[in-house]
């Protein structure tokens, strides 16, 4: 049996003097039905800012929507090309969550433009997610796992975007984080380290 290797994110946007295109975040809503999702470049699904080189990676590996495992590990959905899940929807690791796109992740591709959200900010604050059961292509036998998938982007003019999460669980979590000296400890691929 085979497992996938972690797929690189691709280099950040190079200096604007080199003339490479950059790609602003892709908004919209792809719906919660995996059968309607497309793969390849960012125009097929909601996506954060990406560089020209990151678009090359997306197309080369025919990557689909952005996703995270329940433990926080970031990755992408793809159609498996390996046995035993050939042709099925699967999760492959790609450490995009903590990726640093600065300084040229802006609306004009220069360090002085209006900065787009980081990939982590995009995921945490702007993305509408759905849970989907897919094959874990990083594990021998490709077992089924539950992942969160980016399917839409919140309209920043929507009142719900500005409402804080005031559930009791969230309030106690925030207080605990403050008392312990900070926020959750996030690993190199977005996973939460206890």
Give residue 6's pLDDT.
97
The C-alpha R_g of the chain, in whole angstroms, comes to 17
Q: What is the mean pLDDT of the chain?
A: 86
At 104, list the tokens: 């040229």
Give residue 179's pLDDT.
61
Cβ within 8 Å of residue 124, ≥6 positions away: none
Q: How many helices (H) and strands (E) does the chain have?
A: 3, 9
Give residue 189's pLDDT.
78
At 150, list the tokens: 């980016």
Read off the pLDDT band of 174 (50, 70, 90): low
What tens digit of pLDDT does each residue of 72-91 get?
Answer: 999 999 999 999 999 999 99
Beta bridge partners, 79, equal 89
> pTM to 2 decimals?
0.83
Kindly tell me if the per-residue pLDDT of 37 is higher than 50: yes
% residues pLDDT > 70 (the chain): 80
Give residue 17's pLDDT.
79
- Arithmetic mean of pLDDT, 2-29: 90
Kindly tell me if the per-residue pLDDT of 119 is higher than 50: yes
- Judged by phi (left if over 0) then psi (alpha if -120 to 50, else beta), residue 14 lies in beta
CB atoms within 10 A of CB 76: 25
- Arithmetic mean of pLDDT, 59-79: 96
Kindly tell me if the per-residue pLDDT of 177 is higher than 60: no
């Amino acid at each position: 049996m085979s497992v996938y290797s972690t797929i690189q994110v691709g280099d950040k946007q190079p200096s604007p003097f080199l003339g490479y295109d950059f790609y602003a975040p892709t908004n919209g809503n792809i719906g919660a039905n995996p059968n309607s999702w497309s793969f390849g470049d960012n125009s097929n699904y909601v996506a954060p800012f990406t560089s020209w080189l990151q678009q090359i990676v997306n197309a080369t590996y025919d990557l689909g929507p952005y996703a995270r495992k329940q433990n926080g590990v970031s990755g992408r959905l793809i159609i498996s090309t390996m046995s035993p899940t050939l042709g099925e929807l699967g999760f492959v690791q790609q450490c995009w969550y903590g990726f640093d796109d600065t300084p040229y992740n802006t609306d004009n591709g220069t360090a002085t433009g209006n900065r787009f959200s980081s990939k982590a900010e995009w995921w945490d604050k702007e993305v509408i997610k759905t849970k989907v059961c897919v094959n874990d292509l990083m594990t021998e036998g490709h077992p089924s796992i539950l992942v969160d998938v980016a399917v839409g982007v919140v309209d920043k003019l929507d009142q719900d975007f500005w409402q804080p999460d005031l559930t009791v669980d969230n309030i106690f979590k925030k207080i605990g984080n403050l008392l312990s000296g900070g926020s959750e400890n996030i690993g190199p691929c977005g996973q939460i380290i206890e």
